[in-house]
């Protein structure tokens, strides 16, 4: 994006964002950049683009996207396995000058589209988490999956961790993983489909968003892992 000429006059911070002490300065900037890129078809900006624009690490962007989604500031409009489209949830009524904070999305989206796709899962399945926070989120997802389905997946299984890390990098949160696990468990647990309650199916890029938007056929009401005494499981072979 070096030398990119913006076709708008600036960004206006809504008061609710500026005063929200739950957000760091960089998270506010990321939110406003996503909002400014959110045109008719949404925001195509990848974590790599946002990291370059905000001069921070991609892992910082990933955590920020997850946090902004959990707080209801943005949502994932769609995800086809390669391209993620974000959508700003900032209240339109908060804008005192309509469209002043919006870029000309039709032109800018074209310029960043080449950076907007997630890396193929096959290229990152063997990668290790880049931070302790990422490692903790992966463990939380695996523990929840094991508790709900009775499986014995291990945090030492690189392929399992790879699927989870891939979706975390796409901006999904631990809560999203819990939702997918709850939805599919309510449909498949104790049926012939139970064998598909596995990371390669649940967390695959071609399935994850579809499952996330389904409604449980028999709502489980969620699980509280604090109520479980989880044993230390041996790593999967």
96 and 22 in a single domain? The answer is yes
Q: Is the dihedral of CA 163, 167, 168, 173 positive or negative?
A: negative
Q: What gap in Å lies between CA 129 and CA 210, rounded to an integer?
A: 25
93 and 154 in a single domain? The answer is no
pLDDT value of residue 8: 57
Binning pLDDT at 50, 70 and 90, where does residue 133 land?
low
pLDDT value of residue 224: 46
Confirm whether 1 is domain-assigned: no
Cβ atoms of 156 and 188 closer than 8 Å: no
Least confident interval from 40-54, 160-174, 175-189, 209-223: 209-223
pLDDT value of residue 99: 39
Separation of CA 12 from chain center: 25
114 and 127 in a single domain? The answer is no
Measured at the CA of 143, the angle between CA 121 and CA 164, to 5 degrees, comes to 10
Confirm whether 6 is domain-assigned: no
Higher pLDDT, 231 or 101: 231
CB atoms within 10 A of CB 208: 23
- Considering the entire predicted model, what is its pTM? 0.48
Q: What gap in Å lies between CA 30 and CA 184, rounded to an integer?
A: 32
For 138-190, what is each residue's pLDDT tens digit? 999 999 999 999 999 998 999 999 999 988 888 888 888 998 999 899 888 88
pLDDT value of residue 89: 84
136 and 189 in a single domain? The answer is yes
Confirm whether 236 is domain-assigned: no
Last residue of a domain, one of 118, 148, 183: 118
pLDDT value of residue 209: 87
pLDDT value of residue 197: 93
92 and 35 in a single domain? The answer is yes
Higher pLDDT, 157 or 223: 157
Q: Which H/E stretch holds residue 173? A: none
Confirm whether 139 is domain-assigned: yes
> Domain range for residue 186?
123-227
Closest CA to 14 of 76, 83, 101: 101
> For 27-53, what is the mean pLDDT?
87
pLDDT value of residue 142: 94
Confirm whether 235 is domain-assigned: no
Confirm whether 233 is domain-assigned: no
Task: Report whether pLDDT(219) > 60.
Answer: no
Q: How much is the mean pLDDT over the chain?
A: 74
144 and 129 in a single domain? The answer is yes
Higher pLDDT, 156 or 126: 156
pLDDT value of residue 196: 92
Task: Report whether pLDDT(59) > 80.
Answer: yes
Last residue of a domain, one of 84, 118, 152: 118
203 and 145 in a single domain? The answer is yes
DSSP 3-54: TPPP-SS-----HHHHT-TTS-HHHHHHHHHHHHH-BTTBB---HHHHHHHH
Last residue of a domain, one of 101, 118, 135: 118
Paired tokens of 98:
């309509």
| Number of domains forming the structure of the chain | 2
pLDDT value of residue 237: 44
Higher pLDDT, 15 or 93: 15
């Amino acid at each position: 994006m070096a030398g990119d000429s913006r076709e708008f006059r600036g960004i206006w911070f809504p008061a609710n964002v500026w005063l929200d002490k739950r957000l760091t300065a960089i998270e506010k900037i990321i939110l406003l950049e996503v909002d400014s890129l959110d045109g008719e078809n949404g925001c195509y900006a990848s974590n790599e683009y946002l990291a370059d624009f905000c001069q921070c690490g991609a892992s910082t962007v990933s955590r920020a996207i997850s946090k902004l989604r959990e707080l209801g500031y943005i949502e994932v409009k769609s995800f086809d396995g390669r391209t993620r489209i974000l959508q700003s949830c900032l209240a339109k009524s908060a804008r005192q000058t309509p469209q002043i904070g919006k870029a000309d999305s039709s032109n800018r989206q074209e310029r960043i589209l080449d950076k907007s796709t997630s890396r193929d899962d096959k290229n990152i399945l063997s990668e290790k988490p880049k931070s302790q926070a990422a490692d903790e989120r992966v463990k939380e997802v695996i523990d929840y999956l094991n508790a709900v389905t009775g499986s014995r997946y291990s945090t030492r299984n690189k392929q399992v961790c790879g699927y989870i890390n891939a979706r975390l990098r796409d901006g999904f949160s631990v809560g999203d993983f819990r939702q997918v696990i709850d939805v599919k468990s309510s449909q498949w647990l104790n049926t012939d489909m139970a064998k598909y309650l596995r990371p390669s199916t649940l967390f695959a890029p071609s399935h994850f968003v579809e499952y996330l938007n389904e409604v449980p056929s028999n709502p489980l009401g969620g699980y509280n892992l604090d109520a479980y005494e989880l044993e230390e499981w041996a790593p999967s072979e």
